[in-house]
Amino acid sequence: MRLLTPAERRTRRDALADHALQLFAEVGYPNLTIEAVAHRAGVAKGTIFLAFSTKEDLFLHGAGRRFQSWMGRLANLDLGSASPKAQAAGILETLRVDPLLLPLISLVAPILEQRCTPEGVLAFKQTVALGFQGLVQAWAPRWPEVPAEAWQPLFMRFYASIVGAWSAGEPSENLRKALSNHPALGIFLTKFEELAQPMIEALLRQVQEPPRRVIDLTHPLHPGMPLFPGTPEPAFKPLGTLAKEGYAERWLAMASHTGTHIDAPAHLLPGGRGLDDFSVDHFIGPGVIIPVPTTESIPLSVLLPHEEAIRTARFVLLHTGADARWGQPSYFQGFPVLDAEAANWLAAFELAGIGIDAPSLDPVESLELPNHRLFLSKDICLIENLRGLAAIGPEAFLFSALPLKLQDADGSPVRAVAMRPGP
């Protein structure tokens, strides 16, 4: 009797697994026997045991093949520029191509791997790993910002979401009929797609919207803090203490332009808009850093190299380095401001705000405040007393300077932050 070659043995194993899965579709796993598989395949029972040690080995082999085919469909899926919601729907559609795939996957951990031989489990894991490698090769170029080491845990969360959603959201027909008679238990009739879609969508958003590093650009508020000449001292008075009243609360009093703050047009212009007249998204948007290599006035030549970046930005932040002198008398002296030519050029852009890590966009001694009036007349709000702009770096970033929601607000302290990709 001629011995089978390795290729012939693989072909026979695959064929036997296919016969087993055909029966699985008809009678389910508990009612399926090796004898029935042998009869369907037209071979002796011993022939199956020459290829597989147990019924579980046979099914795990079949599950691995179906799983690898699914991974191939995923790798070929054109995610394109669709939204994460549409991409998640496309992924779920690849699952439905093979009606046996999800029922098989749901058997893997609780039944097949528990009763299978170590060799069978190892072979299944190797099959899945090969499919996963192909998927990463196809998907990684689409999202180069995802580190190579992040793909494996991402895939496992993806796999767990699908298995969990199928186990929780696809009751058997008998159970579905029983549950339908108990409205209070209707939550268990949730469909697989209703559970899986939002979970897969959330994972895709993690891939396409990488984590952001949030950089605080705000000076702390406290009594005794540095103040613009003429600004009254902030007062923080206790209204309740934990020791006496059982709760802590303070009464706060300060000028609306204290510390890191934002100026509204109403600050200087009759009939100008207050901060509460702007939508909240006016205070969040893409930012650009302009390094200022001078302690004198800022000329147009400093801005021109950044023209392209300014056109796509909503906020321009002038990095003078003056914040290093915060807390010293010199902080309010000799900081650079835009000259008239530079200010007029910058005011022509559709900006939401201009920020500076110095006390003001005009000199402290200025009475006319020409830069303030120019920008505020264009509804360009001004953010002053920023700090730590050097920490942002050259990467693109999102800037936020959300004011308090004060009625008729001419200005407000803000918690200014920059958000950029990175840990």
In the predicted model, residues of the chain with pLDDT beneath 70 are 1-2, 145, 170-174, 209-211, 422-423
Domains by residue range for the chain, with CATH: 52-210 (1.10.357.10), 235-421 (3.50.30.50)
Helix 55-75 and helix 34-41, axial crossing angle in degrees, nearest 10: 60
Q: From residue 317, give the alpha-carbon distance in Å to each of 289, 327, 370, 399.
A: 5, 21, 19, 9
pLDDT given at position 104:
83
pLDDT given at position 307:
95
31-87 pLDDT per residue, tens: 889 999 999 999 999 999 988 888 888 888 888 888 888 988 988 888 777 788 888
Closest residue by Cα to residue 413 from 234, 211, 250:
234
CA distance 170 to 185: 14
CA distance 366 to 373: 12
- Chain position carrying tokens 């998204």: 281
Say if residues 398 and 314 touch (Cβ distance below 8 Å).
no
219-235 pLDDT per residue, tens: 999 999 999 999 999 99
Q: What is the pTM (predicted TM-score) of this model?
A: 0.58
CA distance 187 to 268: 58
Catalytic residue among 19, 261, 267, 372: 267
CA distance 45 to 274: 84
DSSP state of 287: E
**Residue 267 annotated among the catalytic residues of the structure:** yes
CA distance 418 to 215: 5
- Chain position carrying tokens 């290093």: 324
